[in-house]
Structure formats: C-alpha cells, structure tokens
Amino acid sequence: MKIFTTILILFVSNIIVAQTASLFGKIIDSRKAEPVPFAAITINHQAQKGLSGWGSKTTNADDKGWFRIDSLKEGDYSIIITAVGYLAKTYPVITFKKDTVILLEADLYVPCKYDDKKNDPTCPKCHKKNKVVPIVYGLPVGELDEDNYYYAGCEISLCDPNWYCKRDKTKF
Ligand SMILES: [Zn+2]
C-alpha cells in the first residue's frame, strides 16, 4: 500500500512538472520608461521535425503592464506583442524548457513619422534627391563635411528626421 501511494504521487507530480513552462513579464514604453497597460501577448508554438505546433495562446497585460502565461509545453515559441499606438514587437524564437519560468521585459516603440522615408531621400517638397544630404547627429569627428552632410547637433529623440533638403531647408 505504501509503495503504491509513493508511485502515485510521483506520477502525478511528474505530470505537473513535465508540462509546465511559464512566461512572465512586463511591457514597457521605451520612450517614457513607463508600463504599457493592456498589451496583447500572443505566443505561438513552432512546428518542428515534421510535427505541427500545438497552436497559440493570447493574453493581455494588466493595467500595470504585467502578464503571465502558464502551462506551456517544452519547445520553441515565437512571441508577438501588440498594443494600440505602438509598433508590434516580435521575438522569433524563444525556447522553453520544462519546469521553468521565462522572464521577459519587452519595450514597445511608438511609430516614428520619419521611418517610412528612412531609405528614401526624395524631398517631400521639391520631389528631387539632388540637394538632399543625410542628417548627422552627435559630435562630428574631425572636419565638418557640410557639402555632403547636415549636422543637427546632439539633441536626439527616438524619432528624428534622416534627410535634409538644402534647396528647401527641409528636414524629413
Ligand atoms: Zn527639396
């Protein structure tokens, strides 16, 4: 009778331990360094070796930015975090081992209006590129090359223009 009981307990605890990994974390606004409330966290199990993944789980952070997802099986997961007014953040592969809790502090960025012109030096005013130079931030090293660059000083935010049109004196 005693042996039976011990085996039963091991068996039960084995089930509980072997299948639980958890994801626990907080969502932060990268600019304000404040929590982002009610972000959506979606975790997708990755298919591997011919086996399909079991699917996905979604949860929402609370009003202080905290979230937790339990009862995850061992394996590789991708994580996508979305919140209204922020760029989505993706973690392509995070590996969960059994009986572990992974802590995640995710910082979300507010989209920058200059991002879509980052690789396109076409001036929005004159629609030409021939008087457009890259904007340089920070202290220049050595001589200033003001023909080919626009030096904008050290004041940077998380959303700054990338190009300067000398014809229109426009930053974009
Ligand atoms: Zn222009």
CATH code of residue 73: 2.60.40.10
Same domain, 95 and 153: no
pTM of the model: 0.62
Predicted confidence (pLDDT) per residue in 28-38, tens digit: 998 888 999 99
Same domain, 90 and 165: no
Same domain, 22 and 71: yes
Residue 145 tokens read as 């090359």
Same domain, 104 and 124: no
State in Å: Cα 172 to ligand 1 middle: 10
Same domain, 54 and 86: yes
State in Å: Cα 166 to ligand 1 middle: 7
Predicted confidence (pLDDT) per residue in 74-119, tens digit: 889 999 999 999 999 999 988 888 888 888 999 998 888 898 899 9
Same domain, 100 and 161: no
Helices and strands: H and E segment counts in the chain: 1, 12
Given 57, 76, 108, the domain boundary residue is 108
State in Å: Cα 153 to ligand 1 middle: 21
State in Å: Cα 60 to ligand 1 middle: 45
Domain total of the chain: 2
Same domain, 163 and 119: yes
The DSSP letter of residue 117 is G
State in Å: Cα 140 to ligand 1 middle: 24
State in Å: Cα 126 to ligand 1 middle: 4
CB contact at 8 A, 40 and 81? yes
Same domain, 20 and 97: yes
Same domain, 16 and 41: yes
Same domain, 47 and 125: no
Q: Which residues form the domain of 132?
A: 112-172
Residues with Cβ < 8 Å from 40, sequence gap 6 or more? Answer: 58, 59, 60, 61, 81, 82, 83
First to last CA, the chain: 79
Given 108, 129, 151, the domain boundary residue is 108
Same domain, 163 and 145: yes
Surrounding ion ligand 1 within 5 Å at CB are 123, 125-126, 165, 167-168
Confidence bin at 9 (pLDDT 50/70/90): very low
Same domain, 41 and 102: yes
Give which of 74, 67, 66, 120 is closest to 97, Cα–Cα: 74
State in Å: Cα 157 to ligand 1 middle: 24
CB contact at 8 A, 14 and 44? no
Given 80, 108, 136, the domain boundary residue is 108
More confident residue, 101 or 27: 27
Cα 151 from Cα 171, distance rounded (Å): 11
Give which of 11, 139, 22 is closest to 69, Cα–Cα: 22
State in Å: Cα 135 to ligand 1 middle: 14
